[in-house]
Amino acid sequence: MTEPKTAAGATPDADYVLYGFAQSGNTYKVALLLETVGVQRGRKLWAPRFVDYFNGETHTPEYRAINEMGEAPVLEFDGRRLSQSGAILDVLAQRLGIHGPADDAERTEVLRWLLFDNHKFSSYTATYRFLRTFAKAPDPAVLQFLRQRCEGAWSVLDAHLSGRAYVLGERLTIADFSLAGYVFFDDEIGVHWRKEYPHIHAWTERLRALPGWQHPYALLPGHPLPKRAG
């Protein structure tokens, strides 16, 4: 395994090295879990390794050797590298013994929400927010299509959270961390959770109250955007 290139200030002996960047809500899902569990346990569990996505790093052969899927996040631990935030959250819940499902029924429920998140909630929200915030001249028709898909997914979660503190009920699980990837970029998405999706708003407030909670731009390296190469 090649030596990880850690960002400035990273702890080289951290248990987990997280490849990612501040604008990546998919990276944030994992960072937020590691940070809040670390604060709860009084120990820093992870160090970031900055991925220069906006200068094309995920397309380089070197990065494809790290993750054949060419994506962030990647979690490095015990000499292995794992991609896909849902798989990473599942492994972390098992290894850290926290935020995982308590029985088979909960395991199925967690999986159901991780799949919904990856297929619809985070994926549409991320794509829409990317075009709206970072693309030079987004096609208005594409933006409108994606906005509708987002609103459908946001409505599903909002209805589900009515009368529930967290996705599985009263207990915080990895399903919450997964769905929380992009929700704190509300200004960049152009959504007013409190007015339009009050149950999502209340849930984001609960997450914000977790000891160790930080906004993705504070928790991960790369904000503000690095200069474009060339």
Ligand X SMILES: N[C@@H](CCC(=O)N[C@@H](CS)C(=O)NCC(=O)O)C(=O)O
Which CB sits closer to ligand X, 174 or 201?
174
Sign of CA dihedral 27, 33, 39, 45: negative
Cβ closer to ligand X: 179 or 201?
A: 179
Q: Are 52 and 226 in contact (CB under 8 A)?
A: yes
Q: Residue 53 corresponds to which tokens in the numbers above?
A: 């996505």
Q: 117, 126, 195: which is closest to 156 by C-alpha?
A: 117
Closest distance to ligand X from the beta carbon of 210 (Å)? 21
Tell me the C-alpha distance between 87 and 217, whole Å.
23
Residue 60 is which amino acid? T
Binding site for ligand X (CB under 6 A): 24, 26, 53, 58, 70-73, 84-86, 118, 126
Q: Which is nearer to ligand X, 70 or 152 (CB)?
A: 70
CA 187 to chain centre: 17
What angle, rounded to 10 degrees, do the helices at 85-96 and 104-116 form? 150
CB of 47 to ligand X, least distance (A): 19
**Smaller CB distance to ligand X: residue 30 or 201?**
30
Give the residue among 66, 67, 27 at the shortest CA–CA distance from 48: 27
In 3D, which of 77, 230, 92, 99 has the Cα closest to residue 174?
A: 99
- Closest contact distance (angstroms) between CB of 28 and ligand X is 9
Tell me if 182 sits within 8 A of 122, measured CB to CB: yes
Q: Which is nearer to ligand X, 84 or 214 (CB)?
A: 84
Q: 215: exposed, middle or buried (C-beta count within 10 Å: 0-12, 13-18, 19+)?
A: middle
Q: Which is nearer to ligand X, 73 or 101 (CB)?
A: 73
